[in-house]
């Protein structure tokens, strides 16, 4: 059964508001106020909660393209772009979340949780489970589709993530997590609100190293036209089919044989099927070649007024020579030994707006590989972070 969710937003006149402020009231579908709704600018430390009568007031930075999130467990989350609500008085109606009874072909099970929890934590959080942890981890639900080799994870509650290294607690509203093991791709989407817990020199150092060379750092540099000044080198990449990778016909034969194998206990695997399987595992579908080096921002962006767009029809290789920050005699200095980090960005025929804070429109559709894929929760910083904070 398809689930349909109704959000209602009523914008009322608010002529006496202070600049860059959003005010209003949160109510339910029978117009009763809802208290303790988390209201925040997605991915930042800017937030508030609704009072007992449902009222709220949120100050938003003058330059912001983030979503304002209205979130409370057991209610459907509502988001709206901040540019649409600045200096307006809102009436936000949240709808109570209802469990819809339906026959699930792929149920969420305890077995799936136990089998895939470590994969989820490595992929979503990162590898430092000692210092970065989900405090209410057991609220997660897992399902695994054996036939299509797909894992899905949902979080009925807001995830409370403690990051001791970076000095934050993150309220993370996980919207979607899916892993496709057949195609080796992973997607997770959510909204986040940061609460600072400590700001020691060690924490500041960890934040600086998490930011330096990150995807947010790169896109901020692109927006400001300081890519080269910030140490990034962008090359144009051309993809071409790998003749050794199986053809569509061969992949279908492999799939048909796998289906046949399930219906029989034993079967001899033909040499040609073994060969197709080996090539599928060991050969990439495409090979790449650098066709232009050190390309300027104008080769992959376009500008429309104050708006900057990532707009190109090739793949990008982004190299960064990273010198780690060190704390020496109370001073933050860069090390002398560089590490070259390489990432790839594929537009997949889409156009993305780049915002001043380093975020992009439709981030779930922006396909990246390499170093940027290591920007997991353990390295996640607020979008309002500035180097040295």
Tell me which H or E stretch contains 224.
Answer: none
DSSP 246: P
In this predicted model, what pLDDT tens digit does every residue of 125-147 receive, in sequence order? 999 989 999 999 999 999 999 88
> Residue 263 pLDDT > 80, yes or no?
no
Residue holding tokens 């909660």?
49
**At 13, is the pLDDT very low, low, confident or very high (cuts 50, 70, 90)?**
very low
| Mean of all residue pLDDT scores within the chain | 87
In this predicted model, what pLDDT tens digit does every residue of 15-24 receive, in sequence order? 333 447 889 9
- Taking residues 235-251, report their average pLDDT: 90
Given a contact cutoff of 8 angstroms between Cβ atoms, the answer to whether 378 and 165 are in contact is yes
Residue holding tokens 């405090």?
135
pLDDT greater at residue 209 or residue 351: 209
Question: Distance between CA atoms of 169 and 176, rounded to whole angstroms?
Answer: 20
- The pLDDT assigned to 65 comes to 73
**At 97, is the pLDDT very low, low, confident or very high (cuts 50, 70, 90)?**
confident
% pLDDT > 70, the chain: 91
Question: Distance between CA atoms of 142 and 154, rounded to whole angstroms?
Answer: 7
Instruction: Kindly give the interhelix angle for 271-282 and 248-262, rounded to the nearest 10 degrees.
Output: 120
**At 318, is the pLDDT very low, low, confident or very high (cuts 50, 70, 90)?**
very high
Beta strands in 146-196 (DSSP E): 150-154, 159-163, 168-180, 185-196
Alpha-carbon torsion, ordered 266, 270, 273, 275, to 10 deg? 120
**At 219, is the pLDDT very low, low, confident or very high (cuts 50, 70, 90)?**
very high
- Taking residues 191-216, report their average pLDDT: 95
% pLDDT > 90, the chain: 57
- Exposure string (b/e) for 267-294, b if CB count within 10 Å is 16 or more? eeeeeebeebbebeeeeeeeeeeeeeee
> Residue 10 pLDDT > 90, yes or no?
no
> Residue 190 pLDDT > 50, yes or no?
yes
Question: Distance between CA atoms of 221 and 233, rounded to whole angstroms?
Answer: 11
- The pLDDT assigned to 191 comes to 92
For 233, counting Cβ atoms within 10 Å of its Cβ (0-12 exposed, 13-18 middle, 19+ buried), the class is middle
- Taking residues 154-170, report their average pLDDT: 95
Does residue 336 sit in helix, strand or coil? coil
Find the radius of gyration of the CA atoms of the chain.
Answer: 24
**At 105, is the pLDDT very low, low, confident or very high (cuts 50, 70, 90)?**
low
> Residue 12 pLDDT > 60, yes or no?
no
- The pLDDT assigned to 55 comes to 94
Within 10 Å of residue 328's Cβ, how many Cβ atoms?
9
**At 2, is the pLDDT very low, low, confident or very high (cuts 50, 70, 90)?**
very low
**At 88, is the pLDDT very low, low, confident or very high (cuts 50, 70, 90)?**
confident
- The pLDDT assigned to 254 comes to 87
- The pLDDT assigned to 367 comes to 87
In this predicted model, what pLDDT tens digit does every residue of 339-386 receive, in sequence order? 999 999 987 778 899 999 999 988 878 888 899 988 899 999 999 999
Range with lowest mean pLDDT among 60-64, 138-142, 231-235, 251-255? 60-64
- Taking residues 311-322, report their average pLDDT: 91
- The pLDDT assigned to 247 comes to 92
pTM: 0.82
> Residue 1 pLDDT > 60, yes or no?
no
Question: Distance between CA atoms of 369 and 316, rounded to whole angstroms?
Answer: 10
Given a contact cutoff of 8 angstroms between Cβ atoms, the answer to whether 27 and 91 are in contact is yes
**Which has the closest alpha carbon to 141: 151, 122, 155, 160?**
155
């Amino acid at each position: 059964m398809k689930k349909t969710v109704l959000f209602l937003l009523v914008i009322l006149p608010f002529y006496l508001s202070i600049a860059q402020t959003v005010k209003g009231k949160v109510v339910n579908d029978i117009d009763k106020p809802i208290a303790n709704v988390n209201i925040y600018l997605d991915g930042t430390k800017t937030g508030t909660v609704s009072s007992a009568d449902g009222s709220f007031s949120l100050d938003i930075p003058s330059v912001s393209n983030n979503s304002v999130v209205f979130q409370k467990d057991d209610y459907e989350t509502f988001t709206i772009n901040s540019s649409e609500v600045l200096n307006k008085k809102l009436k936000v109606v949240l709808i109570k979340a209802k469990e819809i009874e339906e026959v699930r072909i792929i149920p969420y099970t305890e077995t799936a949780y136990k089998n895939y929890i470590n994969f989820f934590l490595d992929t979503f959080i990162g590898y430092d489970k000692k210092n970065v942890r989900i405090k209410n981890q057991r609220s997660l639900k897992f399902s695994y589709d054996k036939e299509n080799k797909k894992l899905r994870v949902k979080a009925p509650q807001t995830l409370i993530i403690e990051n001791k290294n970076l000095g934050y607690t993150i309220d993370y509203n996980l919207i979607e997590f899916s892993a496709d093991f057949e195609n080796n791709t992973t997607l997770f989407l959510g909204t986040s609100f940061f609460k600072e817990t400590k700001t020691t020199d060690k924490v500041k150092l960890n934040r600086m190293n998490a930011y330096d060379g990150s995807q947010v750092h790169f896109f901020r540099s692109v927006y400001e036209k300081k890519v080269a000044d910030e140490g990034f080198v962008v090359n144009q990449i051309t993809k071409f089919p790998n003749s050794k990778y199986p053809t569509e016909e061969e992949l279908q034969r492999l799939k048909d044989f796998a289906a046949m194998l399930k219906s029989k206990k034993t079967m001899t695997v033909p040499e040609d099927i073994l060969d197709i399987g080996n090539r599928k595992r060991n050969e990439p579908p495409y090979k790449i070649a650098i066709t232009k080096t050190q390309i300027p921002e104008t080769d992959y962006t376009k500008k429309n007024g104050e708006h900057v767009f990532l707009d190109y029809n090739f793949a990008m290789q982004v190299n960064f020579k990273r010198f780690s920050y060190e704390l020496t005699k109370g001073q933050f200095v860069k090390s002398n030994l560089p590490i070259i980090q390489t990432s790839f960005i594929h537009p997949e025929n889409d156009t993305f707006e780049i915002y001043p804070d380093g975020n992009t429109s439709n981030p779930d559709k922006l396909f990246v590989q390499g170093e940027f894929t290591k920007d997991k929760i353990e390295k996640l910083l607020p979008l309002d972070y500035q180097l040295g904070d």
